[in-house]
Amino acid sequence: MEHIDPAKAKLLDGIRAGKPCSFCQELDPRFSVRPALDQLVAGLNHSANAHVTEDGYVQHRMIELSQRRAKTAAA
């Protein structure tokens, strides 16, 4: 992960353990170039709502929606 700007580090206050979102890590080919905070989820839940940042949430939802679109197009 990249260096975290001290101003953005305040977002991590109160989060005991941040870890990379396994859903995004598996399905997003650009996951490794995302900013560090956008990769992280809080807790055990690897959902859009668990993302630490709003950008991480939005990127997660975009992946979910593209998955749904692909399924409906295949049907």
User: The whole model's pTM is what?
Assistant: 0.76
Q: Where are the alpha helices (DSSP H) in the chain?
A: 6-9, 22-27, 36-39, 54-74
Distance CA 58, CA 39 (A): 11
pLDDT of residue 73: 86
In tens, the pLDDT along 25-36 reads 999 999 999 998
In tens, the pLDDT along 25-71 reads 999 999 999 998 899 998 788 999 999 899 999 999 999 999 999 99
Q: Spell out the domain ranges in the chain.
A: 18-74
Token duo for residue 5: 């700007």
